[in-house]
Structure 1
Amino acid sequence: MARAFVFPGQGSQDVGMGKALADAFPAARAVFEEVDDALGEKLSALIWEGPKETLTLTENAQPALMAVSMAVMRVLEKEKGISLGDKVKFVAGHSLGEYSALAAAGAFSLADAARLLRLRGRAMQKAVPVGVGAMAALLGVGVDVAEKVAAEAAQGDVCQVANDNEPTQVVLSGHKVAIDRVAEIGKKYGVRRAVPLPVSAPFHCSLMQPAADAMAEALANVTVNTPVVPVIANVLAQPISDPDAIKKRLVEQVTGTVRWRECVATMAANGVTDFYEIGAGKVLAGLVKRTASTANAVSLGAPSDIDAALAALSS
């Protein structure tokens, strides 16, 4: 039996997330204070009090979700005695969650992770004018079919696979005019539904190149340590530990596909049977179960979740 800790991406945010942790545990409270200090503002107040529209802005949601994930991690480590290096074989995160995974594994300091994600969120938002880009989730088909739909919908515009989430859910990203063609084209390929996503920019496609350039510059000036356990890189779906490789893959990730289905499959093939989603929401636990049907997947975001999982994690 082996474990993996996985860290959620954008869309899992909600007002009030992490508040019960901060109220119950000094180690969690300290995480939010450290993130506030790193950003020079009270992000914690926005996380706990809203408004939701402001929290959902990419530049806020990204560091906020990382903060909640790290609050859970610090409680596990400092208050419950769970050592990541001893108890976990791999870490992985969905898009921005890869930064949370790396911070959890000691590759980034908490302050650097917060500042990088604030910059990443702003750079991604600025890369494409509002209304020019869009994203849509294709339900009922896998990545092979999604790639055919994307190629046909492009018609000279950008339309690419952004997220390969699980065997029957793939997200496309690109110019809005191309994404608008996806639903009709998808019908003949067996797409059950094409669901427009409520996002403010077309993430994980070539339109994000200005943001990738910004991240390359930022990461060049940040210390990356060797993580205590390997991280499964989004763009490779393979484990990496070398600091230079980590920086390179994080830059590629901005414009590249989040190969989440393959990341889960890689971990399962390497003996992982128990996946713990660390942070807000339960999205990844669901994706894990639909990819590795025999795996156990548990979400840890509240004090009661941690208490319920403690016996299994301690063994």
Structure 2
Amino acid sequence: MRAFLFPGQGSQKIGMGAELAAASAAAREVFGEVDEALRQNLTALMREGPDDRLTLTENAQPAIMANAIATLRVLEQDFGVKISEKADCVAGHSLGEYTALAAIGAFGLADTARLLKLRGWSMQAAVPVGEGTMAVLLGADISQATALAEAAAQGEVCEVANDNDPSQVVISGHTAAIERAVALVKEHGIKRGMILNVSAPFHSSLMAPAAERMAHALAATPPKAFTLPLYANVTAAAVTDPDEERALLVEQVTGRVRWRETILAMRSHGVESFVELGGKVLGPMVGRIDKDAQVRSLITMADLEAFAKEIA
């Protein structure tokens, strides 16, 4: 069995998608449709920067989605590899869950771009700049990270945001609480803690205003029927019902990204091969979660061509 995976925020970089756009009309069509939907030249921002504008959450989220869907369209249209035929399920990390839903027909491309633009803006606007942040804990398992977050909270928000793999957990909350947590890592047997260069405390209870906005947006633009099961971030379980998934997308804004558990759940249901589209972030995580899993990250035309030949 095979799962297709879609990356989340942090995988953006200047030049993303440029090679695909130069080589494939299918990719150019994706980027053009996203630009039109957002009424901005996001493609030029992806290609040329500046970096500080691309990394703005409201730009990074639709850009990462557009790049991953362009990668998928090239795979499908230029190399004849259909996700409906070659994948058994899908998943995406945080915003990547929207990309995964677009890949399996639950959202149209334009709607996905608009939802992610709103999601990014709403998450940024939920907390005044400087009041919240995130930190990555290296050499920490989920129990260590949870204990650290509880110790550092001291009446403020300090929560586990991403359970990425057995050695990497991300915490999120009020800036002072996250700084206290980083200072306490050694006392909790954690190798290292680093404050992340992010603009808001994503996937924490401080994101409640953004969750409310997304509830309204998803009521107006609900997901449609899926062509494949999707493993949801907040449950680490397969979802096939669009109404259930709509509620989970709202919960995801404030909820934990249970990525490690998601991969283990897929493995327990027989998934052996994991293919990341448009990035090389999730593939290494999968390898750390289960060293026996088969992992591929597809970014370039050469990557796509080689993969298409292998599974033909």
- TM-score range for the pair, normalised by the shorter chain length: over 0.9
Q: What are the within-5 Å matches in structure 2 for residues 162-241 of structure 1?
A: 162-241=161-240
Could you tell me which of 275, 293, 296 is aligned with 2:294?
Answer: 296
Shift of 1:184: 2.5
Q: 1:147 corresponds to which residue? A: 146
User: Which residue is 2:54 aligned to?
Assistant: 55
1:276-303 residue CA offsets vs partner (Å, 9 max, x unmatched): 1111x31101100000110111111110
* Whole-Å separation in 2 of the counterparts to 1:295 and 1:116: 32
- What 5-or-longer segments of structure 2 have no aligned partner? none
SS at match of 2:304: helix
- Tell me, in whole angstroms, the C-alpha distance in 1 between the residues paired with 2:244 and 2:261: 19
Structure 2 partner of 1:31: 30
Give, in whole Å, the separation in 1 of the partners of 2:311 and 2:216. Answer: 38
For residue 223 of structure 1, report the CA deviation from its aligned partner.
3.8
Render the CA deviation track for 1:217-237: whole Å, top value 9, x for unaligned. 000001411111111000000
Residue in structure 2 matched with residue 94 of structure 1 by the alignment = 93
Q: State the Cα distance separating 1:126 from its structure 2 match.
A: 0.2
Partner Cα separation in structure 1 for residue 150 and residue 101 of structure 2:
33
* 8 Å Cα contact 2:206/2:254 also seen in 1: yes
What's 2:84 paired with? 85
Preserved CA contact (<8 Å) 2:182 2:195: no
Query: Which structure 1 residue ranges, 4+ long, deviate > 4 Å from structure 2?
Result: none
1:97-150, Cα deviation, whole Å (9 max, x unpaired): 000010001110000000000000000000000000010011111111110000
Identity %, equivalent residues: 55
Partner SS state of residue 272, structure 1: coil
1:48-81 per-residue CA deviation (whole Å, 9 max, x = no partner) reads 0111110000000000000000001111111211
- Tell me, yes or no, if the aligned pair for 2:222 and 2:246 is still in contact at 8 Å: no
CA RMSD of aligned residues (A): 0.8
| Contact 2:79–2:305 (Cα < 8 Å) also in 1 | no
Deviations 1:177-200 (A, max 9, x none): 100101222211111000111100
Distance 2:243 2:38 in 1: 25
Aligned to 2:73: 74
Deviation at 1:313, TM superposition (A): 3.0
**1:211-267 deviations in Å (ceiling 9; x for gaps):** 000000000001411111111000000010111011100000000000000111111
Q: Which runs of 5+ in 1 are unaligned?
A: none
Name the stretch that deviates more: 294-303 or 59-68.
Answer: 294-303
**1:311 pairs with 306, 309, 312, which one?**
309
